[in-house]
Structure 1
Amino acid sequence: MKDLIHFLRRNTLATVGAGLLAVLLVAVIVGPMFVQSPTAIDIGNKLLPPGPGHWLGTDGFGRDMLSRIIHGGRYTLAIGILVVGIAFAVGVFFGLIAGVAGGIVDTIIMRIVDAMLSFPALVLAIALAAAFGPSLENAMIAVAITMAPQFARVARSQALSVSSRLYVDAAQALGLGQGRILIHYILVNAIGPLLVQASLNVGSAILQTASLGFLGLGAQPPMAEWGADVSANLSLARSSPWTALGPGFAILLAVLSFNLIGDALADWFNPRRRSQIG
């Protein structure tokens, strides 16, 4: 723990990323207790510029933009973490199976993975979300499906590397079950690169889900969600830019914070890089 604290102190970008994420989490957890309903319509106060009473202005329906950003952040951040959690579980499971089993099992799994990776992630997510139907839940499933192959590739490469180590051979010689070896020896020693991939993918998941919301395939009105709010207020960007800039800037900060944390984790799990920083 002391080494980690010292590393964070020396890694400025990691500290910035952690600080940004902490601010966002406090805002979306505590903030809703101090702002009004994000769906409260007040036509008499529509398109008010930022000022007292509406610190980030109001949109075309008179809804408070600060309230919508804070409430929408609950969905957006939770979606990013949940999507990556689903993709992590599915991708790592099949990746480890492919790396350990080898042979025809490895070939079948990895050819499916290669076929999915041949499509641009966002294009595949759009196609899947359109096929499933526009809703926040379907958008989450679509993004999780596009991300699972990335975890499968990383998990397979780590399984191939770790399974050739002497301690795995020793565990097999002792007669330990394949499942126990897979979890306690291979997965535990391969978790570093997978955590780095997960932290980087949270930002990507937020961006892709927001993109689907922007295209009308994710969260549906009047739900407060950053991508959907950018889309709904894009036509007002010239006359009332605060309506689109607020949620857009929130997406930027969220993605930036997770990317900085992911870069810091990559340095932490790289002994040579960690010694240079520390």
Structure 2
Amino acid sequence: MADLITFLRNNTLALAGAIILGLLILVITIGPMISPYSPTKLDILHKLAAPSLEHWLGTDAFGRDVFTRIMYGGRATLAIGVGVVVIAFLVGVTVGMLAGFAGGWLDTILMRIVDAMLAFPALVLAIALAAAFGPSLENAMLAVSITLAPQFARVARSQALSISVKPYVEAAVSLGLSTPRILFRYVFVNGLGPLLVQSTLALGSAILQTASLGFLGLGAQPPMAEWGADVSANLQYVRSAAWVALAPGTAILLAVLSFNLIGDSLADWFNPRRRSALE
């Protein structure tokens, strides 16, 4: 624990990412409890009001408080991001670990499928899948999960290939331990570091892709508060009332930035040479 505290003190980017993420989580967790406004109630008489003491970030074209929309939308956006990464992690790591450990024809078939999926840009594939599934938040989550799973599979396979030749894994095989037990207790546990780094970076990508689908109308549907959908709905007013689009856009930027900073810092933490240099 002391090493971690020292590492954070000497790594400015890690500390900055943790502070930004902590503030975002604090705002979206506590903010809706104390906000006097509803994220969906219309107030046309006060539409596109400029930022003031009453409305910190102004109001949108329907008179809804922008700051309240960001707080409620943050709950949805971050929850979606975490859910997407959990699904992609479970599927991708299972496929990658199994392919790398088993080898042979199974590895060839699974990795060719993964390569085919990685041949498409992630966002383009997510848009195509979301359009095929239909516009809804659940379908957007599924589409983004499918695009992120191959990335986890690649990392997991590389870890399985390097760890499966270790003496302790060969000893476990010679003792007759079951394949699931070897994969979880020895291969997965010892290869967890790079997978955690990939998970953190994937969180930022998941939030960005989900917001992009919401921006295109393939994710969250009105009147639900969601950062990407709010940017899309208010983009036409960006010249006359810039705050309505800039506020949720800035929230997306800060969330993605914080996860990327934390991911880069985790990569340094799991690298012994880099970690010793920063301690």
Same fold (TM over 0.5): yes
Q: How many residues align?
A: 278
Q: Which amino acid aligns with 2:228?
A: G
Deviation at residue 175 of structure 1 after TM alignment: 2.3
2:147 aligned partner: 146
Query: Is 1:46 aligned with 2:53?
Result: no
Identify the residue that residue 13 of structure 1 maps to in structure 2. Answer: 13
Q: Give, in whole Å, the separation in 1 of the partners of 2:147 and 2:79.
A: 18
Q: Which residue of 2 aligns with 1:169?
A: 170
1:52 offset after TM fit, Å? Answer: 1.5
Aligned to 2:191: 190
1:157 and 2:158 are equivalent in the alignment: yes
The question of 1:33 aligning with 2:33 is answered yes
In structure 2, the residue matched to 1:56 is: 57
| Deviation per residue, 1:40-73 (Å, 9 max, x gap) | 1100000000001101000000000000000000
The residue identity in structure 1 corresponding to 2:96 is G
Match in the other structure for 1:204: 205
Equivalent residue number for residue 133 of structure 1: 134
Cα offsets for 1:210-266 (capped at 9, x unmatched): 000000000000000000000000000000000000000000000000000000100
The match for 1:2 is 2
Q: Distance in 1 between matches of 2:211 and 2:271?
A: 32
Distance 1:243 1:100 in 2: 51
Instruction: Give 1:75's aligned residue.
Output: 76
4+ residue runs over 2 A deviation: none
Q: Distance in 2 between matches of 1:172 and 1:221?
A: 54
* 1:219-234 to 2 correspondences below 5 Å: 219-234=220-235
In structure 2, runs of 5+ residues without a counterpart are none
Give the Å deviation of 1:179. Answer: 1.4
Q: Map Cα deviations across residues 170-196 of structure 1 (whole Å, 9 max, x no partner).
A: 112222222111100000010000100
Deviations 1:97-156 (A, max 9, x none): 100111110011000000000000000000000000000110000000000000000000
Report deviation, 1:38: 0.3
The Cα of 1:157 is off from its aligned counterpart by 0.6
User: Equivalent pairs: percent with the same residue?
Assistant: 71
Shift of residue 2 of structure 1?
A: 1.2
The DSSP-based 3-state class of the residue aligned with 1:85 is: helix
**Stretch deviating more after TM superposition (170-179 or 91-100):** 170-179
- Unpaired segments of 5 or more residues in structure 1? none
Q: Provide TM-score, normalisation by structure 1.
A: 0.99
